[in-house]
A and B are shown apart, each in its own frame.
Chain A
Amino acid sequence: MNDILVRVENIRKSFGKNTVLDGVSFDIRKGSVKVIIGPSGTGKSTLLRCINMLAPPDSGKIWLQDTELTAKGTDLHQMRQKIGMVFQHFALFKHLKAIDNVALGLIRVKHLDRSAAYKKAMADLDKVGLAQHADKYPAQLSGGQQQRVGIARALAMDPLVMLFDEPTSALDPELIGEVLQVMQTLAKEGMTMVCVTHEMGFAKSVADEIIFMEAGHILEASPPQVMFSNPQNERTRSFLHKIAELYGETL
């Protein structure tokens, strides 16, 4: 089917003796939003880092449209710009102003001329509500603002899919909302997204599917209604309860 954007096929990944991903498979449809949840150390971050080949899997295949990323000889630098990534600790380029963080890839990877690059970068900053902070350095921005710059930086490359690795877990509670709101807007506009997050409100309102991972496996994958009302697996059930307690959400 050609509306499948990303295909993850039985990937395995170990660090030394520690098997982190133990045969993970799923498809991501164009325009869909997947939320990945699971206990700490289960391999959620590793899974995302496999998808954009920052941590290439030991075996298994990953496809982005018709390109097999795991194939030898794939131009990963060319492909990675099509996969946006948003980091838990923002990972902004600290020596560059917000606008330069966003424009850098446009200039160096997409080879836009400077004025076109800055125009586009400004539009992307505006999209996340930060046009007026374009000339600030990361250290001069709040966590929520930094994360929104991170989203704009990824967006600027016009990615086919965006990966979010706990984008709000390093934020003070009062700053989480502004980031989730940007993500929500993106989802509504049809951006294909894979989000590792334990913000269940967000998951409920925009996810097409929630994946529960444990110990390198997908234990359960189902739409939020099913996942929340009738989890199939006992482990899923108890994990959801734990999150509910932690985040004070009623499921």
Chain B
Amino acid sequence: MKFFAALVDYLPAFGHGLWLTVALTFIAAAIGFIASIPLVLAILYGRKAWKLLAKGFITLVRGTPLLVQLFFIYYGLPALGLRINPFVAALIGFILNSAAYQAEYLKGGFLAITTEQMEAAYSIGLTKWQAVRFIIFPQAFRFAIPALSNEIIYLVKYTSVAYIIQVPELLSQAKFFASDTFFHLETYLLIGAVYLALIWIVSKLTDALEKKLYIPGFDISHLR
């Protein structure tokens, strides 16, 4: 078939696109997760100024369209003398978003924990930060795993938006290929299948993580 013949020539480009999509997803998820921890701690336990700062950040990120943010970073910032390559611009946008959303999901996990846990921690002499670190956070994280897993799945799909600021990720490659070869139907069917496969892999990975971290009594099935 002509389509597959054309595809073979483009395979390296598709490979590169896939690689960028995967890199955007996982770097944004990982750094976003790390950044979400101080965010949620500031919101729940921080002094007023930190709390306001964290809440302001989340409001801003969640309250504006992702595309507006990406345009601002990629097209807007150069006006301030900050020229950023497309991949890095997209990455920054996704990290900020993922941090904000993951902080919200973690917060949900924290709220599922009774105040008695904190009191019990204090009662044996732990300090507030020890209590958060050893008692509250580990439980909150477990409660948040399903939501955090979903966040990664969303990220896989959101990365396709990066095509609009010239990141040569998977969708961009598909677009080039389709407009070069006019195999629009076949191309987008194929690319849809690739995203589906990626998301299947992600959900298998997060299921495995959930299993590995399983603790009796943390069945979140009753919360679903």
Contacts and interface: CB of A to CB of B under 8 A. Distances in A.
Interface of A: 49, 52, 54, 77-78, 80-81, 83-85, 87, 89, 91-95, 104-105, 108-109, 137-140, 153-154, 156-157
A87 B116 contact: yes
A54 B217 contact: no
A94 B218 contact: yes
In the complex, the 6 A-B pairs of residues with the closest C-beta atoms, listed nearest first = A139-B217, A81-B125, A105-B124, A91-B120, A85-B123, A109-B125
A105 B135 contact: no
Given A91-B117, A95-B142, A137-B216, A104 B134 contact: yes
A54 B120 CA distance: 10
B134 A108 contact: yes
A24 to B, nearest CB: 20
Given A104-B134, A139-B216, A93 B125 contact: no
A137 B218 CA distance: 10
Contacts of A80: 122-125
Interface in B135-186: 135, 138-139, 142
A49 B138 CA distance: 25
A154 B119 contact: no
A1 to B, nearest CB: 27
Q: How large is the interface on B (under 10, 10 to 19, 20 to 34, 35 or more residues)?
A: 20 to 34
Nearest to A94: B217
Nearest to B139: A95
Contacts of A84: 123
A104 B130 CA distance: 11
A209 to B, nearest CB: 23
A84 B119 CA distance: 12
A74 to B, nearest CB: 13
Main secondary structure of the interface of B (DSSP, over half): helix
Interface string B105-136: 00000000010110111111111001000110
Contacts of B189: none
A109 B120 contact: no
A30 to B, nearest CB: 20
Contacts of B122: 52, 54, 77, 80
Contact of A85 (B120, B126, B130, B135): B120
Given A54-B119, A87-B119, A94-B139, A105 B215 contact: no
Given A95-B138, A104-B134, A77 B125 contact: yes
A157 B119 contact: no
Given A54-B123, A92-B120, 8 more contacts: A77-B127, A84-B123, A87-B116, A91-B120, A93-B117, A95-B135, A137-B217, A156-B124
A162 to B, nearest CB: 10
B217 A138 contact: yes
B218 A95 contact: yes
B53 to A, nearest CB: 27
8 contacts: A52-B123, A54-B122, A85-B123, A89-B116, A108-B130, A137-B215, A137-B217, A140-B216
A111 B48 CA distance: 32
B124 A87 contact: no
A89 B139 CA distance: 17
Choose among A78, A94, A95, A104 the residue with the greatest number of B CB atoms under 10 Å from its CB: A95
B120 to A, nearest CB: 4
B217 A157 contact: no
A23 B120 CA distance: 26
A154 B123 contact: yes
A80 B135 CA distance: 17
Nearest to A78: B125
Contacts of A95: 135, 138-139, 142, 215, 218
B119 A91 contact: yes
A109 B124 CA distance: 8
A81 B216 contact: no
A91 B116 contact: yes
Nearest to A85: B123
A156 B120 CA distance: 14
